[in-house]
Amino acid sequence: MRIRSFLPHDLARLTELTIETFGPFYEDSFRPLVGEAVFANQHGAWREDYVKQVGGLHDPAEHRYVAVAETDGVVAGYVAWAGEPERRNASVTILAVSTQHRRLGAGTVLCEHAFAAMRELGAEVVTIGTGGDGFHAPARALYEALGCTPLPIAVYYREL
């Protein structure tokens, strides 16, 4: 597996990968859990939201970076992070690994790459978040295996 910096030609594939990765959460987990009204209000345009978000993930002038993992020339996944130099911290924005490359260490390698880059930029602390639902259980296991400490929080939704 090779880790490299984002290149402009990666944008379409990374956007597609993000939608493939998180689509099951939005459609199979979040939508049935909260109902149609809350879903439409909060994430009804989740695909379009990702198109916009992924396009702005890599901007080194703004301390935002993306690293891409490739296996045999195929994008296996990517990690995006943002730094806050004045606070000496950084946060992982997105970690996405293709279905066929999961459980093979790609997420670990991507996170460790990002953590090393964050340290080089002067960060002393990293934050990385994920959901508390079943869909996100593998991500929680990965982050805890990497030595991250979970902070229990609750978010509630209610249709008015």
Q: In this structure, is residue 63 part of a structural domain?
A: yes
The model's pTM is 0.93
Instruction: Give pLDDT tens digits for 13-64.
Output: 999 999 999 999 999 999 999 999 999 999 999 999 999 999 999 999 999 9
Instruction: Give pLDDT tens digits for 108-119.
Output: 999 999 999 999
Instruction: Give pLDDT tens digits for 99-110.
Output: 999 999 999 999
Residue of 114, 41, 113, 48 lying closest to 83 (CA atoms): 114
Q: Which domain holds residue 36?
A: 2-145
CATH number at residue 107: 3.40.630.30
Residue of 73, 71, 125 lying closest to 101 (CA atoms): 71
User: How many domains does the chain contain in total?
Assistant: 1
Q: In this structure, is residue 125 part of a structural domain?
A: yes
Kind of pairing between the strands at 125-128 and 74-84: unpaired
